[in-house]
Amino acid sequence: MMKFYFALLVLLLLLPFYSKGQIKTEKVDKSEIPRIPAGIATKSYSPIAINIEEKETKLQKLEESILEYKSGEGMTFGIFEEFFLNFDKVESSCLDGTCYKEVSIYSKGANTLGFYFDQILLGPNSEFYIINDEESFLQGPFTKETVNKTEGFISGLIPGERLRLLLKAPENEVSTNRIVISEASYGIYDFFGVNKYTSNNSIQSACFGCSASCNQNIKCFSTYEEESHGVMLMLVKSGGTYSTIGTGALLNNGKQDYEPIVLTAVHVSPTIYLDSMQFMFHYRSPQCNPTSNGPTNIIVQGASPLGPSDGTTDLRLLKLDVNPHNSPVFNNNPVSYLGWSINSNPIGSVVGIHHPVSDVQKFLAGDVPSLRNDTSGPGNYYYWEFNLTNGLLQPVSSGSPLLDDNKRVIGANHGRDPGDNYDCNYSNNPKVLYGRLNRSWDIFSQYLDPNNEGLVALNTITNQPGAETKGYIEGLDYLCSSTNYELKNSPLEFSINWTVSPAGLVTNSSGTGPIANLSPSSPSASGDAVLTFTITSTGGSVQTEVNKTIKVGKPGVSSIWSATSSTGLNLPVPFVATYPDRCDEILDAEWDVYPTTVTIMEESGFPCAYPNNTGVQISFHNSGSYSVRVRVKNGCGWGGWSNPTYIQANNFLAFDYTVYPNPASNEINIEIQDGPEKSTSSPDLIKQSPFEVNIFDELGNLMLSTEMSDTKFKLDVSALTEGYYFMHIKHDKGVIRKKIKIER
């Protein structure tokens, strides 16, 4: 068994440094690296010497695994070996209530080092750092709030062959902190460009810039900056090896609540290793050209599966144990949650973001993708396939997101078709394959559309909710003749059925597909119809509906309301056309009276609630019987004439009256006057019989009734609500109607 032999270096430090408050690996200014202040006496110790038994054999196997990697497989770049370090055994030095423990470690030829912690339990005010002084790289501070796993925590990658491990703690927390390291990682792949490892096989150890020459840095494509913040390189500790296994991407969800959902490929995310998987964000070149190592990367550890994986698409969802949105690690380097789409709208081109051969993030592009259904073998498989036009898929690209021309994820990389002729010469390359997100919707919808809202697309978000896309029905609001209604934004490959209710209003009441052709069932068909598209996922377990209310046919008037069937001459009589439930669609009304010796007052005549339900007022100038009818108009045109109502006009009125004030508030004055056809004076009429006073609302409901036995009368109307009313004063000689308004 390989062992590490070491002697401990314990130093007393008083550290005037700036803490970034995040667990991340970053290249910083040397002034930000913890130093021993001048004037503090220190004792000189030799650094820990790491001696690896059978080192040459171990490293030779690592090199061979890198040289022999195949497309779609991960890359083993390091080894984990037994290494025991208990910080309880490290002597602390304290000054002014603050204590420090420090250990220096050296491992010749390592491009990266890292540690596996059996236990890391820190007090609320304690901080732990891993430092590379030579390259000015700093990892930490690790704190109680930022270490999500107190057991089995993996520190991640930090460059170089010489490190310092530093614990800074208040004096009262020194004895309660627990830091126990049981394994150390030794990496030969150069993620940071320190070039410490010398290859026996002349392999290219520098990982940044080690991918194909046609793979351009994502930094060269600024329009995808936001999306790149949600893409991660995935690593895993598997027994004694350390590997990069693929690429993944954070996804937005229907709640837009920043749940840390990761989309990746099944074949690069084995469930048994999820606890020790790491997800490295922001591993990018800081410039377009030339490629250089990323100054910052942030790793979170651990995930759990969200539902079962989908072998038919090679897609799965994971949920990170740490949410980057809420973690202080990401305060200055936020991540994005990528939008996605299952929309059936045509896609003109596609883009990918990936970590080929564990390189910094790279860009790729392809032509119009087509649907690939492999159903002839023992299983069914569903992919996007297309030709690359920019960039090249390589190992560790697996699981990387594929974006449509709206920058929404539509799948993740599965691999490519077999073929030896695969390089930056795109003309003869095999097609590349990405699992189709829409085909996994029966599994994924409960996480990506948790409220079953019928979402078909979401936009990428960083710190505020983004736009969402749902299906809708495109078509006219009025169905006057044969018309197509089309379901827009329908999900790709979902089955679509439609129905119309009530069925009797249209010729076709059901069908399939995204287009419904409808016609009124007859020239007299009139009413509201509801068109419903029912959308069902490919597996049948997810179903949503999209509805549209349609006005069918021309409108018809159900009746004409009038408060009386007889009236005196030249007195305005109110009429209202009633047309239940479709008031909002009426555009105009036309009244017809016979004989025509009438005056129609300027009122709307619309059959709708106040303020449009004022009807008309008609004055009849000659004695006799009159017929009154009306028709109304909507978006389909004029409806038919209503059945007539009849009124008798008589030349007998011997009185009139005035009402004031009008508008009134709480009280109205009524004053009876002699009429134009008087044969008896008003006081004499009162003596013959009292006048009956009735007030009706605009729908003809009696609201108030009383009698008056004098020619002048005050009427309390305080109980009436604001609005228009009709006052009828009735005597055995006739009825006179006036319109009043209550206003406060």
C-alpha–C-alpha distance, residues 406 and 245, integer Å:
28
Per mean pLDDT, which range of 244-258, 542-556, 572-586, 607-621 is the poorest? 607-621
Instruction: Give the distance between the most distant pair of CA atoms in the chain.
Output: 134
* Residue 700 Cα distances to 201, 362, 563, 716, 727, angstroms: 100, 76, 7, 20, 11
Question: Considering only CA atoms, which of 347, 322, 326, 218 is closest in space to residue 262?
Answer: 322
Supply angle C-alpha 333, 335, 340, rounded to 5.
Answer: 160
pLDDT digit string, tens, across residues 104-147: 998 989 999 999 999 999 999 999 999 998 888 999 899 998 88
Domains and CATH numbers, the chain: 25-187 (2.60.120.290), 216-233+243-447 (2.40.10.120), 471-552 (2.60.40.10), 559-650 (2.60.40.10), 655-742 (2.60.40.1930)
Share of the chain above pLDDT 90, in %: 55
Check residue 588 and give its pLDDT. Answer: 80
How high does pLDDT run on average in the chain?
86
- Please check whether residue 165 is in contact with residue 6, taking contact to mean a CB–CB distance below 8 angstroms: no
Per mean pLDDT, which range of 335-344, 551-560, 679-688 is the poorest? 679-688
Per mean pLDDT, which range of 8-17, 422-431, 568-577 is the poorest? 8-17
Residues 6+ apart with CB under 8 A from 522: none
Q: Is the pLDDT of residue 66 over 80?
A: no
Q: Is the pLDDT of residue 282 over 60?
A: yes
Share of the chain above pLDDT 70, in %: 86
Check residue 464 and give its pLDDT. Answer: 93
Tell me the pLDDT band of 5, cut-offs 50, 70 and 90.
very low
What average pLDDT does range 34-44 have in this prediction? Answer: 59
Supply angle C-alpha 301, 304, 310, rounded to 5.
Answer: 125
Tokens of 640: 């038919």
Check residue 547 and give its pLDDT. Answer: 98
Q: Is the pLDDT of residue 492 over 90?
A: yes
Q: Is the pLDDT of residue 208 over 70?
A: no
The count of residues in the chain is: 744
Supply angle C-alpha 121, 124, 127, rounded to 5.
Answer: 70
The dihedral through the CA atoms of 153, 190, 207, 64 has a sign that is negative
Check residue 610 and give its pLDDT. Answer: 40
C-alpha–C-alpha distance, residues 408 and 253, integer Å:
12
C-alpha–C-alpha distance, residues 695 and 474, integer Å:
48
- Please check whether residue 268 is in contact with residue 414, taking contact to mean a CB–CB distance below 8 angstroms: no
Give the H or E element holding residue 708.
strand 702-708
Name the burial class of residue 110, with classes exposed (0-12), middle (13-18) and buried (19+) by CB atoms within 10 angstroms of its CB. Answer: buried
What average pLDDT does range 175-182 have in this prediction? Answer: 95
Supply angle C-alpha 562, 564, 568, rounded to 5.
Answer: 120
Tell me the pLDDT band of 363, cut-offs 50, 70 and 90.
very high
* Residue 67 Cα distances to 199, 200, 234, 358, angstroms: 11, 12, 20, 14
Q: Report the predicted TM-score, pTM, of the whole model to 2 decimal places.
A: 0.79
Q: Which residue has the higher pLDDT, 202 or 569?
A: 569
Check residue 573 and give its pLDDT. Answer: 87
**Burial code of 405-443, b = ≥16 C-beta within 10 A, e = fewer?**
ebbbbbbbbbbbeeeeebeeeeeebbbbbbbbbbbbbbb
C-alpha–C-alpha distance, residues 611 and 609, integer Å:
6
